[in-house]
Chain A
């Protein structure tokens, strides 16, 4: 299962969660890993909505040797992140939240890649590998 979904409203965030859950079940992730990756997806989708005014996510199942993984790629054309290290710090927020979205979702996945520059949007790729 692969596909691209828009993240332009609060109901899109719910849809993203549901699609990620379906994909996670399909590739046989454990219940705990399903819950972690869906939670990370919820945080990142909300970030795209709150900080960039919207974006999209690609959901795909990837293969590395015998291992299968669920990869989510969030992209937006928002203002970008000036200081990535700071943005990844627990408790740091410019949006009035708890500042756990980026730092917390990084802990919930196996691979986390963030590319962003001011004025150039943000691209976040996360992967959760099957055990």
Chain B
């Protein structure tokens, strides 16, 4: 089974999925990421799926689950780089990924996380 590497950049964890995901790799990633979020105290997780050719209901649910787990561990998740054909297919499949934030690319994903943090700091100091 292939494992997806997790990179750390400042207080953001970056995962770029470059392999054809098997269900086991998906579950392993979920566990590895939750552990890394806690171990590093990351405030954000970016999942880059620009190389992913299909997202089926299993992978879609994994993205939503990771976002949910990270939120409980005080980190925000942004899924970046979704291909247009994947977006069309996901919606038709019936999966809207309601609770998952998305950005068009890695750069915009980082900007979104920075924005979320600045809003959180502003509301905390108000």
- Residues in B lying within 8 Å of A, measured CB to CB: 20-24, 53-58, 60-61, 83-86, 88-89, 92-95
Contacts and interface: CB of A to CB of B under 8 A. Distances in A.
Contacts, number: 71
Contact of A104 (B84, B86, B95): B95
A32 interface: yes
Interface stretch (A11-19, A56-64, A67-75, A76-84): A11-19
Interface of A: 10-11, 13-14, 17-18, 21, 31-32, 34-36, 38-39, 42-43, 46, 90, 97-98, 100-101, 103-105, 107-108
Nearest to A38: B54
A46 B56 CA distance: 10
Contact of A46 (B23, B88, B95): B23
Nearest to B95: A100
A108 B23 contact: no
Contact of A13 (B23, B55, B83): B23
A86 B88 CA distance: 26
Contacts of B60: 98
B94 A42 contact: no
State the 8 A-B residue pairs at the shortest beta-carbon distance, nearest first: A104-B93, A35-B85, A42-B56, A100-B57, A32-B85, A10-B22, A10-B23, A104-B94
A34 B86 CA distance: 10
